[in-house]
Structure 1
Amino acid sequence: MVSRSKFPEGVDEFTELFDLPYDKLKSAQRLTQLKIQPKLTNDEQNELATLSAELEEYMITPEVWNKFADSLVAVEQFFYDNVQGFIEDKQKIWDSYIKQFLFVGVWTTGKSYKFQNMVIGDNGDLFLCSKDHVSNDSNKPTKSDMWVRISSKGDTGAIGLNAFYKGDWNEATTYKIGDAVSHERENWLKPLVYISKKDNNVGVNPQTNGESWMLYSETYVGDSRPKGAGAGLHFIKEL
């Protein structure tokens, strides 16, 4: 069967339809009467043609509906023959990108990197590869357009208590960065907790040295702010 649609070589056109107005009601009724008659005279056939033209904007004829159906089928066939394959090909490319979107460690020279690979640059920042290549000193992430910086290395955070609690401070013990100790201070009801700010920290009294120890998150009441007080200290001066 020959299609009534011009797609995809052309664009199909359809008459815009409207609701039947009241003044066309008698014409529509007469058209219906003529269509259901088994036979028409020449005059009736001419009248039918005239009424059909008059009511064209108010009814869907079999010819119009069949043309619309052919247009719809033509679009579906075009999509199946052309667009579907195009989408599937693009999906395969996208899938390959997704599989390559992974962290592959610290950047090194002489290694083959793929588009979307992520590495840590020599400055500690996170970079995303923009094209396939083999690395060398001239295309380091920090100085090549083959890489895009997606995250910068943050500053070193403050030392916290998520390190190791070593109990009461001992003058003979060597402490490392992040080691936490308890130490008694005069006029305190309970020991204070201090955190070591450096490695090889030995023989340094926490309550007298702010360069080696940091007082951790306490409220202190006294006549002066204690040495080694960290950001978490709440100091209340005695009057």
Structure 2
Amino acid sequence: MRVAVINYTGTVGKTTVAAHLLAPRMGDATIFAIESVNQTTSDLGLESEAMKGEKFGVLFRKLLMLDSAIIDVGATNVEDFLDRMIKYEGAQEEIDFFVVPVVSGGKEQKETIQLVDALAGAGVSRDRVRILFNRVDNDVREEFAPILIYAKQRQTCIANPAAALYETGLFDLLAAKRLSIGALMADETDYRERLRTIDKGDAKAIAHFSDMHALKLLAKAAAPQFDRAFAALFA
């Protein structure tokens, strides 16, 4: 499966979704960071290949040889990415799904609708454009009514309310540690035990071990939610 994570706005968590939701559930997917200035998946502890949107031809040739890939398209490169994709006739068919994360702000929802319209204009079919509701506080239907109404009326994307990630604070904490959730869950260190045996005068180590223990608890609690969101996103 080859998935592009894309939106016009840079505040919806595209890189977070690529690193923490998709990468751990897509095996050995190759990750491409189409970005110039903002955070990329490499900043979150994942190996990725960086390039600019204007280099779509290079990306296209690489996708031809891959079965599994995640393309994290930064907001500063979306226009170039879409322009080049349109120029390569049929190139959009090399991307199985376009995942469009959105948060509840009015500006973000408006720009999400514009992005979906642009994808439809580029010939991307409805079933390949999937909305991911990110940083949900309580109720997807209430917080994202404009997107849900748009999706129902225009039929240009799949907007499944179950494809949702709820606000936990976990992503911000992982970013501060430059960690992916996959790396965190693979870490077998017993930080609680380390705290019991550490030099009580080592404040820096105590803070680090405490943070890591708390992060692992948060990640363990969030994992079922992520699994459900991933399944709903591609249902």
TM over 0.5, shorter chain = no
* Greater share of residues in strand: 1
* Greater share of residues in helix: 2
> TM-score band (shorter)?
under 0.3
